[in-house]
Structure formats: structure tokens, C-alpha cells
Amino acid sequence: MQEKKSINVFWGMIFRKRKPAEVSRNQFLKTIPFFEDLTQKQLKTLALYLHERRYEEDEYLFEVNHPAAALFIIGRGEIVVENSTGKENSNQLATIKSGEFLGELALLDSSPRSASARATKPTETYALFRGDLITLEKEDPQIASKIYRTLAWVIGERLKATNRQVETTRKVA
Amino acid sequence: MKDSNRRFRAIFFYTLVAVAVTSILVFLIWSLRPMILPATIGILLAYLFRPLKTAFKYHWLPEPIRAAFIFSLLTGSLLLGISFVQDNIPNQKENLELQVRLKYKFNEKFEKIMGIDPLTGKGHSIYNLIAHDVDPIRSGINKYLQLSPEQSETFMKFKNGVEGYEPVSEVYYQYYLANTKKIPNKNDKKENLAANTDAPAAAKSNEPSLLIYLLGTLSVWLLMPIIFIFFLLDDGAIAQYFIKLVPNRYFELALTLQEKVDGAIGKYLRGISMECALVAISMVIGLWLVGISFKVSLIIGVLTGVATVIPFLGTVVGLAASIIYVLIAEDLSPLIPFVNIDNAAIAVILVNIFVHLLDNMVFQPVVLGSAVNLHPLVIILGLLAGSMLFGAAGVVLAIPAIVVLKVVSENTISGLKDYRII
């Protein structure tokens, strides 16, 4: 173990382990749970479908009740998820940081967004559009199936968490 | 205050950029308009063959090789088509024979239908009623089909035998003799001669060198395969570039719109191409069954198929071409027992009606079912407007442009409302 660490330190000196924002897009994508099962070649293909967007501080990625169209992966910066639009009346539900993602249900249908997402600092995102995922289904089904599998896993985990929360609330009541 | 100043500067800057870009675009489109047609055809072909690219998508097959393969396939088919057309284009002798035959058969059928007695020149009662209107048309057609003195001279040379050509058959010579009796008047002859002597002189004075013209055209049309390959190789980078220019607020709306427009154009283009191909195949089979030779059926079928892009024109072209051919045909070899040379015209009309019904009741609903529904009048007006504005390029661009306009106008307002922009 000690030997492995020393090797890592050695190689780390030469090939410095960089932060997500600094690594190349493909390497960065590999760190996102959605894409961790994809091979380098598949990541290269997927990268062709991703839209790079930059947001200023307080700019909205999407707003509550707007039709959903894309999943957003945060490359650099920070996003807050709020239950409504407008800083004054809204409650913060979550904070999404670099390497995390939001709006994944947009990959399934165009149902309205259940919350708004606002950048709290200059933020870079990668957006995956639902239509592009459908194209991938036809052109590269292996990539699409891996993304859908991960999506199913994420939704399953959320459901479990919600069930636990409901159970806890019921016990408290 | 600071914010409002910045906002004002941003609006000013974007307006300035928009005006500059629009002016440059208009100037470029106008200056480079000869390139519009090859570029458009290249893009549309790439659109059309995109599913083929997906069909040949194998992990071991690099993208450029795939595009090159599709391009070779297309070029090969095109060359085959050109060689087929070249083989079937009549040579000078065949052209003259066709003209002689067409004129003779036209007069023969006309006299038969109108019951005209060749000696007295009188026809049945209906003819006597409409002779005043019909005769000028007949003489106009006769004038058009009349061989000029030079053509007559060439015809006679072929009759006497020219090296490399079979002599003109006795039947056509008899037709020629019969036709010469029907020369309308001497003035026409003079007009023909004048036209024939003046035309080359006029052409010589105004026309640039043919070589320069051909080189110019070729260099512009070289653009088509290049554009085709680049658009076929494109994996969405072009669309992504334009989406990048869209402000964040409209990002998801723009993506949704782009997907809808892309899908609509693809479906319409592929649908209409499929419809045209099916109409062409049906016509070829129908005419071949009636007894028209396979090569002629193929030519008429392809013409009808291409004309099907314009509503009703396909039917008109198919009907006109097949009836004219049947009227001048010497003999037919029908595969349907009761069809013969006398009733072939009726059989051809029935084939055209059948194909038209097949197109309306089967091909259009099945092939174009989920594609954008365009009213025939909109297509005709669009094509006319396109040809008036940009010539041939306008005709090619008109339908895709109408599809884009329709999809964008249908979806933009609802999209802007959904995203609470308006």
C-alpha cells in the first residue's frame, strides 16, 4: 500500500492530477456518474452531442414550470436549485457543484421543470439535449442504453430516498 | 444606473452586429448566387442520405471512409444514369426520323379523329363546328414539326446512306414525302430560312467562348460534392455552432425548435423522394404492361416521378408524355391481352389514372403520412415565387424553405409562451 502510494506520488509529480475544470472534456465527463460506464471512444462520440454553455452570476439555467429539454452537467461554478424564480420569494432546495448534474428527468420527457436553477457564480455547463439522446439511440445504442441505465438507477435512488423520508415523517407524526 | 447603462450598450452592440451581419449576408448571397444551387443540392442530398450513413455505422469503419463510400455509391449511380441517358438520347438521324414520324402521326390521328377526307378536306359535323379554332393550332404544330431545308437535306443524305448509319427506312421516307405535301406556305419557309441564317450570327456575336462557359459552370458545380461530403461528415457541429450563438434564455427553446425543423425537413425530403420513386416505378410497370418498350417506359416514368414533386404536374407530364408516345408508336407489344395499337391511348390514360389514384390513396398517406402537410397551392405558389426570385436555385430551395417556415411559425409562438418569454 505504501509502495503504491509512493508510485502515485511519483507519477502525480509528473502527471499532476488536475481538478475537473482543468482536465480535458472527455476526462472530465468520465468523472460524471452518468457517463462513468462509457469507454473513451464512446465518450468522444458523446462529447459531439454536448452543448457548452456559460452562465453569469444570477443567470437562470432553467425556470420552474418551463418545458424541460436538457440535462445540465456542471463543469465549473455553482448552481442553486430553488422552488420558484426570483431570489426574494424562493427557498433553496439544493446546491449543485462542479462535477454534478441536474435536470436529468428532461431526458425522459418535456414535463415542466419542478424547480428553478440559478448560477450563484460564473458557471460553465455541458448540456445533453433529449433529442440528441434519441438520435444516439439510433446511431449508437450502446451509449444511449448506458445513459438510460444510469438514469434509471438515479431515479431509483431518489425514490428510495423519498420513501425513507416519508417513513421518517410518518414515524415523527 | 450602472446596470441600465450596460444594458443599453449591450442592446446597441447587438443591434449593430445584427445589422452588419445581415447586410454582409445579403451582399454575399446576391454576389454568390450562382453558387446557391450547387450548394443547396449538396446540402439537400446530404440530408437525404443521412439515414444511409447511420445504416453503415460500424465501429470499425472510420467516418471519412463511410462518407466516401456513400459518395462513391451516389456518383456511381449518377454515372450509370448519365450513361443510360446517353445511350437512349436519339442521334441526329433518329432525331430527324422522330420529327418526321411525329408530324405524320399527328396529322394522321388528327384527320382520323376529326373524320377529315384527305381529298375534300371536309370533316364530320363536330370538326366543322370547331375547325375555326382548331385549325390554327394544327397548323402551328405542323409549322413547329416541319423540317427546315437544311434538315431536309440531311434527311435525304441519311436516306441515301451515310457511313456508320443504317439508311432511313422506306416507311419514314414515305412519311417524309407525305409531310412535304403539308408545308403550310412559302412565307413559313422564308421565316425558317431567315431564322436559321440569323440565329448563328446573333449567337456568335453575343456568346462567350463555350470552353470558358463550361469551365465556369464546372468550377461552380464542383462545390456540390464538396458540400455534400462535408455535410454528410458533419456530426452536428454546424448546428451546435449556431445553437452556441443563441442567448442562454432561449437555449432550450432553440434546441427544441432545431430538432423539430430538422425532423420535419428530413421527413418531408425523404418522404417526397420516396413518393416520387414509387410513382416512377408504378408508371414504368404500367406503361410496360401496356406494351411501351421498357426503355421508353423508364424515361417517361422518371420524368413523371421527378415532376411529382410539384402537385398535379406529375400526372400532367406522365399523361402528356405517354399519350404522345402512344400516338406516334408504330407497334406495341402489350402484356395485357385486350390492348392493341388502336386502344392503346385509352389504356395509357387508364394507367395514368391508376397511378394517380395509387399516389393519392396509398403512397402519400403511407410515405408522407407523418411529414409536414403542405397545401398544393402553397407548394405551387412557393415554387413560382422561388423561381422568380432565385431561378433554378429558388425552385430547389422553395419546398425546404416552406417546410422550415411552417414548422418554425407553428412552434415558435407556442414555445415562446411555454418558456414565458412572451
Closest CA to B58 of B69, B47, B50, B66: B66
Instruction: Work out whether strand A50-55 and strand A123-129 pair parallel, antiparallel, or are unpaired.
Output: antiparallel
Residue B58 host element (H or E) = none
Residues in chain A with CB shorter than 8 Å from the CB of B255 are 51, 69-70, 127, 129, 131
B249 vs A contacts (CB less than 8 Å): 60
The answer to whether residue A14 is domain-embedded is no
Q: Does residue A9 lie in a domain region? A: no
Q: Is B124 left (phi over 0), alpha (psi -120 to 50) or beta?
A: beta
> E strands along B113-182, which residues?
none
Of the candidates B54, B253, B255, the beta carbon closest to that of A131 is on B255
C-alpha R_g of chain B: 28
Residue B199 lies in a domain: no
Rounded distance between C-alpha atoms, residue B29 and residue B36, angstroms: 8
Domain of residue A161 covers 19-172
Task: Pick the closest to residue B93 from B22, B176, B14, B11 (CA basis).
Answer: B176
| Tens of pLDDT, residues B179-199 | 887 544 444 444 444 444 444
Query: CB B57 to CB A139 under 8 A?
Result: yes
SS3 label, residue B276? helix
Which of B52, B59, B240, B251 is the best mutation test for A, with the most CBs of A within 10 A?
B251
Q: Do residue A131 and residue B418 have CB atoms under 8 angstroms apart? A: no
| Residue among A49, A66, A138 whose CB faces B236 most closely | A49
Q: Could you tell me if residue A1 is inside a domain?
A: no
The number of domains in chain A is: 1
Q: Output the pLDDT for position B348.
A: 92
Q: How many CB pairs under 8 A join A and B?
A: 50
What is the per-residue pLDDT across B305-332, written as a single tens digit (0 to 9) for each?
A: 999 988 788 899 999 999 888 887 777 8
Q: Would you place residue A163 in the very low, low, confident or very high pLDDT band (cuts 50, 70, 90)?
A: very high
Tell me how far the alpha carbon of residue B187 is from its chain's centroid. Answer: 37
Torsion sign, CA atoms B381, B384, B386, B389: negative
Dist. CA B336–CA B347, nearest whole Å: 10
CATH (domain of A125): 2.60.120.10
Burial class (CB in 10 A: 0-12, 13-18, 19+), B408: middle
| B309-to-A69, A74, A126, B264, B372 alpha-carbon distances in Å | 35, 48, 41, 16, 14
The DSSP call for residue A107 is G
Say if A13 falls within a structural domain.
Answer: no
- Bridge partners of B11, per DSSP, are none
Cα–Cα dist B168/B159, whole Å: 5
- CB contact, 8 Å: B255 with chain A? yes
Out of A154-158, B295-299, B418-422, which region has the weakest mean confidence (pLDDT)?
A: B418-422
Choose the closest CB to A66 out of B236, B255, B418.
Answer: B418
Q: Does the pLDDT value for residue B392 go beyond 80?
A: no
Q: Which of the 8 DSSP states describes residue A154?
A: H
Chain B partners of A68 at a C-beta cutoff of 8 Å? 252
* Cβ–Cβ below 8 Å for B252 and A67: yes
Cell numbers for A7, please give them: 508510485
Residues B6 and B106 in one domain: no
All three cell numbers of B234, joined, read: 458533419
- Angle formed by the axes of helices B251-290 and B294-307, to 10°? 150
Within 13 Å and on the Cβ side, how many CA atoms surround A168? Answer: 6
**In which domain, by residue range, is B163 found?**
92-184
Residue B40: per-residue pLDDT: 84
Residue B229 lies in a domain: no
ipTM of the shown complex: 0.79
pLDDT digits over B44-88, tens only? 888 888 887 777 777 677 777 877 787 788 888 888 888 877 776
How many Å separate Cα A111 from the centre of its chain?
A: 18
Provide the pLDDT for residue B280: 95
* Partner residues linked to A52 by β-bridges: A126
Rounded CA-CA distance A161/A44 in Å is 33
Q: Is A122 helix (H, G, I), strand (E, B) or coil?
A: coil
**CA atoms within 13 A of residue A44's CA, in its CB half-sphere:** 4
Q: Is B63 on the interface with A (CB under 8 A)?
A: no
Does residue A14 register a pLDDT over 50? no
The helix (run of H) or strand (run of E) holding residue B159 is helix B149-160
Q: Taking CB atoms and an 8 Å limit, are A63 and B420 in contact across chains?
A: yes
- Minimal Cβ distance to A48: which of B57, B235, B252: B235
Of B269, B279, B325, residue with least CA distance to B301: B279
Domain assignment present for residue B109? The answer is: yes
Residue A71: in which H helix or E strand, if any?
strand A70-76
**B248 in A contact zone (CB under 8 Å):** yes
Does the CB of B418 have a partner CB in chain A at under 8 Å? yes
User: How far is residue A99's CA from residue A73's CA, in Å, rounded to a whole number?
Assistant: 7
For residue A38, the chain B residues in CB contact (below 8 A) are none
Average pLDDT, chain B: 82
Whether B102 and B10 share a structural domain: no
pLDDT greater than 90 at residue A119:
yes
The interface residues of chain B toward chain A in range 41-60, judged by CB-CB distance below 8 A, are 54, 57, 59
| Nearest residue in chain B measured CA to CA from A45 | B235
Query: With an 8 Å Cβ cutoff, are A67 and B418 in contact?
Result: yes
> B63 or B274, which is more confident?
B274
| Residue A25 at interface with chain B, using a CB cutoff of 8 Å | no
The separation between CA B372 and the C-alpha centre of its own chain, rounded to angstroms, equals 22
**Amino acid symbol at B336:** I
Q: At B107, which helix (H) or strand (E)?
A: helix B92-114
Q: Distance (Å, rounded) from C-alpha B168 to C-alpha B147?
A: 15
- Which tens digits make up the pLDDT trace of A49-98? 999 999 999 999 999 889 999 999 998 899 999 987 776 777 888 899 98
Kindly state whether residue B179 falls inside one of the protein's structural domains: yes
Q: End-to-end alpha-carbon separation of chain A, Å? A: 49
- The sheet carrying A123-129 orders its strands as A50-55, A123-129, A70-76, A101-102
State how many domains chain B has.
3
Ranges B95-99, B137-141, B159-163: which has the least confidence:
B159-163
pLDDT-based confidence at A118, cuts 50/70/90?
very high
Co-location of B346 and B410 in the same domain? yes
Q: Nearest-CA distance from A56 to chain B in Å?
A: 10
> Which residue does chain B place closest to A139, by CA atoms?
B54
Q: A58 to chain B: which residues are within 8 Å by CB?
A: none
**Is A118 within the bounds of a domain?**
yes
B contacts of A127 (beta carbons < 8 Å): 251, 255
| Same-domain pairing of B390 and B302 | yes
A139 contacts on B by Cβ (under 8 Å): 54, 57
A122 part of contact set with chain B, CB < 8 Å: no
Alpha-carbon distance B312 to B309, whole Å?
9
Torsion of CA B314, B318, B320, B323, to 10 degrees: -160
**B256–chain A Cβ distance below 8 A for any pair:** yes
Q: Are residues B263 and B352 in the same domain?
A: yes
CB contact under 8 A, A53 and B59: no
**Does residue B205 register a pLDDT over 70?**
no
> B136: which 3 cell numbers?
390554327
pTM of the predicted structure, to 2 decimals: 0.69
The answer as to whether A8 is a domain residue is: no
Alpha-carbon distance of B250 to B141, in angstroms, equals 61
Domain assignment present for B215: no
